[in-house]
Amino acid sequence: MAADVRPPRRDEMHAYYRVLPYANGLPQWEPADAAWHGGPEPWPPQRAPATAEQLDRWVEEDFDDPRFHPVAAFDSGACVGASAALSFEVTVPGGGAVPMAGVTSTAVLATHRRRGHLRRMMQAMFDAALDRGEPLAMLSASEGGIYGRYGYGPATYRTRWEIDRGEAAFLPAPPDPGSLELVDAARARECWPVVHARVRAARVGELSAIRGRWDRLTDQPDGTNGPLRYLLHRSPSGEADGIANFRLPWGSTTAEAGTLVVEALEAADPAAYRALWTLLLDFDLTRKVVAHTRPRDEPLRWMLANPRAMRVTRQSDNLWARLLDVPGSLSQRAYSAGELTIAVDGDRMCPANNGTWRLRSDGVSSSCAAVEGPADLTVSPAALGSLYLGGMSAHHLAYAGRITPHAEGAVARLDRMFRTDPEPHNSFAF
Ligand X SMILES: CC(C)(COP(=O)(O)OP(=O)(O)OC[C@H]1O[C@@H](n2cnc3c(N)ncnc32)[C@H](O)[C@@H]1OP(=O)(O)O)[C@@H](O)C(=O)NCCC(=O)NCCS
* Rounded Cα gap, residues 173 and 275, in angstroms: 10
For residue 385, which of 317, 316, 338 has the smallest C-alpha distance? 317
Nearer to ligand X, 98 or 146 (CB): 146
Nearer to ligand X, 113 or 311 (CB): 113
Nearer to ligand X, 115 or 189 (CB): 115
Question: What part of residues 6-35 is at the interface with ligand X (CB under 6 A)?
Answer: 21
Nearer to ligand X, 47 or 119 (CB): 119
Q: Minimum Å distance from CB 423 to ligand X?
A: 23
Q: Minimum Å distance from CB 62 to ligand X?
A: 17
Stretch binding ligand X (CB under 6 A), from 143-151, 304-312, 391-399, 407-415: 143-151
Q: Cβ neighbours of residue 135 under 8 Å, at least 6 residues apart?
A: 98, 99, 323, 324, 325, 328, 329, 332
Tell me whether residue 79 is exposed, middle or buried, using C-beta atoms within 10 angstroms of its C-beta: 0 to 12, 13 to 18, 19 or more: buried
Spell out a b/e string for 206-224, using b for 16 or more CB atoms within 10 Å of the CB, else e.
bbbbbeebbeebeeeeeee
Question: What part of residues 144-173 is at the interface with ligand X (CB under 6 A)?
Answer: 145-146, 149
Binding-site size, ligand X (CB under 6 A): 18
For residue 360, which of 345, 350, 371, 351 has the smallest C-alpha distance? 371
Contact flags string 384-413 toward ligand X, x per CB under 6 A: ------------------------------
* Rounded Cα gap, residues 148 and 176, in angstroms: 45
SS3 235: coil
**Cβ atoms < 10 Å from Cβ of 139:** 24
Question: What part of residues 291-330 is at the interface with ligand X (CB under 6 A)?
Answer: none
Q: Minimum Å distance from CB 28 to ligand X?
A: 6
Nearer to ligand X, 118 or 323 (CB): 118
Angle among Cα 344, 348, 349 to the nearest 5 degrees reads 105
Residue 27: strand pairing partners: none
Among 79, 141, 163, 300, contact with ligand X (rule: CB under 6 A): 141
Q: Minimum Å distance from CB 141 to ligand X?
A: 5
* Rounded Cα gap, residues 292 and 200, in angstroms: 18
Nearer to ligand X, 73 or 309 (CB): 73
Nearer to ligand X, 115 or 287 (CB): 115
* Rounded Cα gap, residues 392 and 204, in angstroms: 13
* Rounded Cα gap, residues 318 and 209, in angstroms: 17
Among 24, 54, 123, 142, contact with ligand X (rule: CB under 6 A): 142
Residue type present at position 352: A
Nearer to ligand X, 21 or 338 (CB): 21
Question: What part of residues 104-123 is at the interface with ligand X (CB under 6 A)?
Answer: 106-108, 113-119
Q: Minimum Å distance from CB 118 to ligand X?
A: 3
In angstroms and rounded to an integer, the radius of gyration of the C-alpha atoms of the chain is: 23
Stretch binding ligand X (CB under 6 A), from 139-147, 231-239, 291-299, 416-424: 139-147
Stretch binding ligand X (CB under 6 A), from 92-100, 142-150, 246-254, 334-342: 142-150
Q: Minimum Å distance from CB 70 to ligand X?
A: 14
Q: Minimum Å distance from CB 293 to ligand X?
A: 16
Is residue 265 close enough to count as binding ligand X by CB under 6 A? no
For residue 263, which of 249, 252, 253 has the smallest C-alpha distance? 249
Residue pair 330/357 in contact by the 8 Å Cβ criterion: yes
For residue 217, which of 254, 258, 245, 180 has the smallest C-alpha distance? 245
Question: What part of residues 70-109 is at the interface with ligand X (CB under 6 A)?
Answer: 81, 106-108
Nearer to ligand X, 207 or 260 (CB): 207
Q: Minimum Å distance from CB 83 to ligand X?
A: 8
Looking at residue 331, the DSSP 8-state letter turns out to be T
* Rounded Cα gap, residues 244 and 392, in angstroms: 28
CA 321 to chain centre: 10
Q: Minimum Å distance from CB 29 to ligand X?
A: 8
- Residue numbers of the site for ligand X (CB under 6 A)? 21, 81, 106-108, 113-119, 141-143, 145-146, 149
